[in-house]
Amino acid sequence: MASLAAYFAGTKLPRGPPSTSTLPLSATQAPIHNTSPAELEAAWADFVAIVGQENVSTSQDQRVSHAKSEWSAHNPPASEPIPFCIVYPATTEEVSQIMKVCHRRKIPVTAYCGGTSLEGHFAPTRGGICIDFGRMDKVLALHKEDLDVVVQPAVGWELLNESLSKDGLFFPPDPGPGARIGGMIGTGCSGTNAYRYGTMREWVLSLTVVLADGTIIKTRQRPRKSSAGYDLTKVFIGSEGTLGLVTEATLKLTVKPATTSVAVCSFGSIRQAADCVQRVVGTGVPVAAVEILDDEMMKCINQAGQTARTWQEKPTLFFKFAGTPKGVQEQIDTVKQMAKLSGSTGFDFARSQEEQLDLWSARKEALWSTMAVKRDGDKVWTTDVAVPISRLPDLIEETKTDMSKSGLYGTIVGHVGDGNFHAILLYNDAERKIAEEVVHRIVKRALEMEGTVTGEHGVGLIKRDYLDHELGSAAVDVMRKMKQSFDPLCILNCDKVVRVQKPAKGEVSEW
């Protein structure tokens, strides 16, 4: 009997965590959360004790605005819950205490920073509470001699650069207006400066993170390089609040270039413009940024009338140059020659700071100009993909043709120096399915060209089911295993990046 008992104890009963290196979707079990009114009301009292009653909101307007936005492509069903309350912490310790409450009570948590994300990142699919980092908006330390700065998550990149400017410094990542450091880390964003300076991943030195059970960790110290252990910093960049909550970030800075300039050139076709980009990139001209706007986007900019000039309504490239005065002039001359070889129909470059702002204004107004031509009832869907630079002309050309055939109005704008472009579609409720199909084909086309489903927007809800096609199921199963390890109760931004339970029948688009 003793040997029989030993057999069952040794081979039939669980002896600790599963031994597999991955977690396939077929092996998952639905998370079990506690979102009963009684539990949430009890938790509310705990939150009030931590941050004060004035920093816990149950306002209907606040709860709705923290669940969705007009920017996001996520179309929440009527059954999708909104947060029970919004909690506004001011310190890392307060975030830790809040998470300890939620972990103990098994309450889902969604983090919220700037609210500018596009792929359903902060949709509270499981209800629970929302942690808004709006009060954590301070620059904690500037180390000018080391070229780094320590900030809280709600610091906006624009205001940060404004304050750094007086010391001749700047922080290169530049996504859309209103974005804040916490969300930029969460999505691994970039922006127009990425061609020259890289993405958010290259500009974060260290993070302070609160884990799902309230544990506080710091991922690294401040040196520019380190070989000490796993690179936890990059694990959290792009994790979209699913593995932990960033409460402090140490960011790398760089010196503002001595001279800058801007040039704009138009082309007869989108392929000519894309070919010009290939020439510039292929010969290593060190431009600071290169952006493409298609003919429809230029029409929108003229129609919106928010810039000081009337533009040619043709596919247009916008270049930024940075460096020494002599170096910038050499870059301009070289790009002008390459644009002419590619068939440009005009080339203007700035001769003053005022002209720089004037020429770049069209690029800054791109999204708003497309939205300005919306019909009543229209929604906007902004998607992005990226491909190897040699495939960019094919991708843009095929996408323009597809959008035209679909009957939807759309524009294209892209950070084409690194093969990343955005399609902006306008659609109404009756056209939602058509928009979904167009975006599906854009993503499929990019993957077939060895690209990625998102160059900088992040995965969220919209792109999560494409990850298997991009990376393979085993890689996604490793991500799911990481999610389980960091957040075993699945309370942090559940359902984003990777699925944590099998989808309902018909929920996933066929490939």
Q: Which of 276, 260, 283, 280 is nearest to 314 (CA)?
A: 276
For helices 325-341 and 270-282, the axis angle rounded to 10 degrees is 140
For position 11, what pLDDT does the model report? 41
Q: Which of 471, 473, 472, 497 is nearest to 484 (CA)?
A: 497
Strands, DSSP E only, in 212-286?
216-218, 245-252, 254-255, 259-267
SS3 114: coil
Residue type, 188: G
Burial class (CB in 10 A: 0-12, 13-18, 19+), 31: middle
For position 240, what pLDDT does the model report? 97
Token output for 274 = 């894309």
Contact indicator for 292, 315 with CB cutoff of 8 Å: yes
For position 17, what pLDDT does the model report? 53
For position 443, what pLDDT does the model report? 97
Q: Which residues of the chain have pLDDT under 50?
A: 1-16
CA gap 28, 66 in Å, rounded: 29
For position 332, what pLDDT does the model report? 94
Edge-first strand listing for the sheet containing 129-132 = 56-57, 85-87, 129-132, 109-112
**Residue with structure tokens 């302070």?**
208
Token output for 269 = 């076709």
Contact indicator for 70, 378 with CB cutoff of 8 Å: no
CA gap 106, 299 in Å, rounded: 51
Report, in angstroms and rounded to the nearest whole number, the Rg of the chain calculated over CA atoms: 24
Which domains are present in the chain? 37-132 (3.30.43.10), 139-255 (3.30.465.10), 259-369 (3.30.70.2190), 374-486 (3.30.70.2740)
CA gap 396, 301 in Å, rounded: 20
CA gap 277, 285 in Å, rounded: 10
Contact indicator for 264, 317 with CB cutoff of 8 Å: yes
> What is the value of pTM for the model shown?
0.92
Q: Which of 114, 192, 261, 115 is nearest to 413 (CA)?
A: 192
